[in-house]
Amino acid sequence: MEIEITSKVNNVLLDRTEVHFIVTHTGEATPNRDIIRNELAEKLNVKKEDVIVKAVRPGFGNNKMKGYAKVYSSPDKAKALEPDYVLIRNKLMEKKDKEKKPAAEKPAVIRPPKAAVKEEPAKPVVKEEKPAKEAPKQPEAKKE
């Protein structure tokens, strides 16, 4: 797997470096986000915790992927600026499980025993037939 950095921009305002890259993985499986973070950290001489891989887009039918990453000065700075889903994908944050509220107990339904219930046979449904409507009479033609 090879990583080629296509552009590198220093964002002073947010205290980070924004990196666009291309990953070539001939003869190998598609690398996951963790492996890409390791390789970028080695290539940029920074700690792995400071690298956030925002997006990786694999190409169809070839062994190249385009990606976008951000390199922060510290992991705390990254946690302050990045959304939670990006931090979870980069394993800098654990996913929060939603706590389920305990279900309220339903009141017990009291039913009489089946032997005590007498079922009456169903009555046949009789449809009433309506008289057919007569066709409107057409005026007779005058004979001359």
Helices (H) and strands (E) in the chain, counts: 3, 4
Cα–Cα dist 88/75, whole Å: 13
* 74-12-88 Cα angle (round to 5): 40
Q: What is the pLDDT of residue 20?
A: 97
| CA dist list (Å): 102 to 73, 99, 105 | 43, 9, 9
Residue bearing the bigger pLDDT, 45 or 117:
45
* Confidence band, pLDDT 50/70/90 cuts, at residue 116: low
Residue bearing the bigger pLDDT, 129 or 48:
48
Q: What is the pLDDT of residue 79?
A: 92
- Answer yes or no: is pLDDT of 117 > 60: no
Q: In the CATH scheme, what is the homologous superfamily, with its name and number, of domain 2-89?
A: RRM (RNA recognition motif) domain (3.30.70.330)
Domain ranges for the chain: 2-89
Predicted TM-score (pTM) of the model is 0.63
